Chains A and B, each alone.
Chain A
């Protein structure tokens, strides 16, 4: 390649980057998508969404109160997980359970004291609103926990020999306070990046088609690679800025620990962002219409990043076809990578394969985009 062509190419790319930057600076919607949207989502999820149970409405039915049931009731009342009502008859609570005002009912039968001292298997009855299986499971576990604690205390108090020889003392690593926020927010950064990366680029190429400027660009000596680079560079910078804002907010506002290195974060998120920008360009090239492009970006990038990345729902418990499908999603690799970087540190065994997988997906997407972006209209 002679130097003249080379400098011509650099100038064309430079011209496009300058043009795109000016458009970003003048277009309030790009700044809103990159600057305001991440903050909005982070605050929404940071404050509003939590997978921990707090203050579950529970009814404790004691059929025949006595000293034992009194101390059990006190155990439930002292727990920070429950707000407690009490009653004398289970039927009183049925209506509230049906209406959803109660998440669960604990029935302490009249013969409770006798059964408890005999060491019966089910001295109390637990009824849980099973319409939301997740919550139901949690409520059940928490009740069992409270009851187990009480039982142990009773045994210590009565100086009876402990029935179990082995006692479990759980120790949680990486997230000792079991704050769901600490793993949700790093994952949420992924969702934000997926949305911004695809939406921004999905809109811009479609806009060129809609406004007829693509036709004019194509009639100049510009090449496909130049056109793509000219589009990618400004939005890459914008996406990384959004990334920095999100990470800073998570760390400094929500006090999520960050244990990895900045270099690793930069590398992994660059690769992820590149794959998302490529997906956006591909969508945009195929849709040629801003409305359709934004819809596809939401369905093709945002929702999978949210639902299929393992952030909210465990991938290993998904049906096989869906599980296989998640392997094609860059977010599926980026979520564990981010959670590892935030909560554990630079763990090569997680980061290296994740990054390589995302790079492979990005490469395929870029190739597909280049194939479909032709300097031709048909």
Chain B
């Protein structure tokens, strides 16, 4: 296939940051090229450079035979670009949005009618033409955005993180649509921070901090980790400790919790781990497994995630099996709309419990009711024995909360943020000084103490946010999508800290639509249309949908199958 985009030594600087650093790569027609990297890697900048929306400081970009620096207008006629926020007018209807882009791209008369029929059918938006774009679901908005960019069939389609904010089902549909476009010969660039999406691309450009780490097929990168991936099962309750220990061993390159087991990647040339080499007395089983893109990606990043957390240590007193967090028939109605419908669950001490579900399923509503931020229409909550909605500040001091977005004061320094949150949680005098000192030591914040927290690297922002949430030693920790958009190393480190707090008897409740995060949970509840449609450990959920066809379903497969089953149950 023809080369559509050629990047030759491209650099782009914003102030002091080098967003793209001497990048050379190619994008070919007739396949999906993934731009893969964590937040801040330079993915959006690269797409904007390709579309001529930004001018490179150095190097040359050729798009469909045209120079992106001087012929941006010509590129805009042959390339379609969907920005992260779709570029839709929310106060216009589906049809009006399409009409605008048809006018702008000069698609008229009979050609327009044909394009509309084709795209509305393709995106299954036909029945919603009169609906305002703002009232569409995330997945439907994404499809409409795609339709608007496809109104005149482009040679090159640039999609900026189309998988963000889209539930697994819509995401799968989006991929099906993209593959169909590839079959028509269109070259597609899909940027993503999700590594499972990278595996679906024909070709990937892996970026980190503006630098090219790899270009080629995802399979070729994955195969670098061939024979090095293993699943350790039957470690049971001790798996978090085992993982923490395993990561100290020089022969182990990477490791994550996966359901009840641990996934380990050994360093190049090392033998399979055994119970003995891992230093455990109990009988654990070690199985070789197929490598994943993530295994190779982490190896590519070069550093080993720190799994040691200074939080590990003394266990909290308290009975292990006691129910610490409970929801009983929790219901929230807004007018005729039921956002949460009789949701019940119970979380034991020292357990990580996940609320999993697509956007708008009701997990945020449930989460807010649990935190006491929203009054339930009916039903009760109990957190560490108290109803947080009624308990007020004294009760809230028993919980820690970390919001989805970085919600600390960006223009306060790290030390000031810590001092502020210590004060908020009522820590005074020596206790306050001790708590702050402990957090600084635990999260190694010393080099950044006087820096504005807004300017910290992402990993340190995460650490600081967690430090502010746990410095008052809460019994229960609420986490709202804590690591979405974060690179795998930072995510591993974050969960190492969470695992350590759990070992100390802290109970954790987490919401996520991110399957990798769900794997860290002991149990998850799948929330869909305001109801819990399935509950169990990630392994249970996977096993419940295993068929002859998919022997080893992923959690995402399980998610989709369970939602589908619920849909058909409702339909019949």
Q: Is B53 an interface residue (CB 8 A)?
A: yes
Identify the closest chain B residue to A4 (Cβ).
B106
Verify A219–B91 contact, CB threshold 8 A: no
Size category of the B interface is 35 or more
Q: Which residues of B contact A222 (CB under 8 A)?
A: 104
Q: Is B246 an interface residue (CB 8 A)?
A: no
Q: Is B103 an interface residue (CB 8 A)?
A: yes
Q: Is A217 an interface residue (CB 8 A)?
A: yes
Given contacts A11-B103, A376-B72, contact A213 B87 (CB under 8 A): yes
Q: Is A221 an interface residue (CB 8 A)?
A: yes
Verify B53–A216 contact, CB threshold 8 A: no
Q: Is A264 an interface residue (CB 8 A)?
A: no
Q: Which residues of A contact B73 (CB under 8 A)?
A: 221, 223, 375
Q: Is B140 an interface residue (CB 8 A)?
A: no
Verify B90–A377 contact, CB threshold 8 A: no
Q: Is B300 an interface residue (CB 8 A)?
A: no
Q: Which residues of B contact A221 (CB under 8 A)?
A: 73, 76-77, 104-106
Q: Is B212 an interface residue (CB 8 A)?
A: no
Bound complex: CA of A22 vs CA of B92, how far in Å? Answer: 7
Which of A16, A27, A219 contacts B53, CB < 8 Å? A219
Verify B53–A376 contact, CB threshold 8 A: yes
Q: Which residues of A contact B478 (CB under 8 A)?
A: none
Which of A16, A19, A23, A215 contacts B87, CB < 8 Å? A215
Contacts of B467-487 to chain A: CB distance below 8 A: none
Verify B88–A213 contact, CB threshold 8 A: yes
Q: Is B148 an interface residue (CB 8 A)?
A: yes
Q: Is B287 an interface residue (CB 8 A)?
A: no
Bound complex: CA of A223 vs CA of B92, how far in Å? Answer: 22
Q: Which 6 A-B pairs have the closest CB atoms?
A: A216-B87, A15-B103, A212-B85, A219-B81, A220-B104, A215-B83
Identify whether the interface residues of A are mostly helix, strand, loop, or mixed: helix
Q: Which residues of A contact B76 (CB under 8 A)?
A: 218-221
Q: Is B530 an interface residue (CB 8 A)?
A: no
Verify A19–B96 contact, CB threshold 8 A: yes
> Which of A14, A26, A217, A220 has the most chain B CB atoms inside 10 A of its CB?
A220
Verify B86–A212 contact, CB threshold 8 A: yes
Bound complex: CA of A209 vs CA of B89, how far in Å? Answer: 12
Which of B82, B91, B106 contacts A216, CB < 8 Å? B82
- Shortest distance in angstroms between B513's beta carbon and chain A's nearest beta carbon? 21
B interface list, Cβ under 8 A from A: 48, 51-55, 72-73, 76-77, 79-92, 96, 99-106, 108, 145, 148-149
Given contacts A22-B92, A215-B83, contact A377 B104 (CB under 8 A): no
Bound complex: CA of A212 vs CA of B106, how far in Å? Answer: 22
Add 8 more A-B contacts to A211-B90, A215-B81 (CB < 8 A): A15-B102, A18-B103, A212-B85, A216-B88, A219-B76, A221-B106, A377-B53, A378-B55
Verify B148–A378 contact, CB threshold 8 A: no
Given contacts A19-B96, A221-B76, contact A216 B83 (CB under 8 A): yes
Q: Which residues of B contact A376 (CB under 8 A)?
A: 52-55, 72
Q: Which residues of B contact A14 (CB under 8 A)?
A: 103
Q: Which residues of B contact A213 (CB under 8 A)?
A: 85, 87-89
Which of A27, A212, A377 contacts B48, CB < 8 Å? A377
Q: Which residues of B contact A23 (CB under 8 A)?
A: 89, 91-92
Q: Which residues of B contact A18 (CB under 8 A)?
A: 99-100, 103
- Shortest distance in angstroms between A373's beta carbon and chain B's nearest beta carbon? 13
Number of A-B contacts (CB under 8 A): 95
Verify A217–B104 contact, CB threshold 8 A: yes
Q: Is A8 an interface residue (CB 8 A)?
A: yes
Verify B91–A11 contact, CB threshold 8 A: no
Interface string of A1-42 (1 = CB under 8 A from B): 000000010011011101100110011000000000000000
Q: Which residues of A contact B145 (CB under 8 A)?
A: 216
Bound complex: CA of A213 vs CA of B100, how far in Å? Answer: 12
Bound complex: CA of A23 vs CA of B92, how far in Å? Answer: 7
- Shortest distance in angstroms between B72's beta carbon and chain A's nearest beta carbon? 7
Q: Which residues of B contact A215 (CB under 8 A)?
A: 48, 53, 81, 83, 87
Bound complex: CA of A134 vs CA of B192, how far in Å? Answer: 67
Q: Which residues of B contact A377 (CB under 8 A)?
A: 48, 53-54
Interface string of A97-140 (1 = CB under 8 A from B): 00000000000000000000000000000000000000000000
**Can you list 22 A-B pairs with a CB-CB distance of less than 8 A?**
A12-B106, A15-B99, A15-B100, A16-B104, A18-B99, A22-B92, A26-B91, A27-B91, A211-B85, A211-B90, A212-B86, A212-B87, A215-B83, A216-B81, A216-B83, A216-B148, A220-B101, A221-B104, A222-B104, A375-B53, A375-B73, A378-B54
> Which of A18, A213, A219, A377 has the most chain B CB atoms inside 10 A of its CB?
A219
Identify the closest chain B residue to A220 (Cβ).
B104
Interface string of A160-193 (1 = CB under 8 A from B): 0000000000000000000000000000000000
Bound complex: CA of A11 vs CA of B149, how far in Å? Answer: 18
Identify the closest chain A residue to B108 (Cβ).
A11
Verify B79–A219 contact, CB threshold 8 A: yes
Bound complex: CA of A121 vs CA of B222, how far in Å? Answer: 107
- Shortest distance in angstroms between A222's beta carbon and chain B's nearest beta carbon? 6
Bound complex: CA of A12 vs CA of B104, how far in Å? Answer: 5
Q: Which residues of A contact B99 (CB under 8 A)?
A: 15, 18
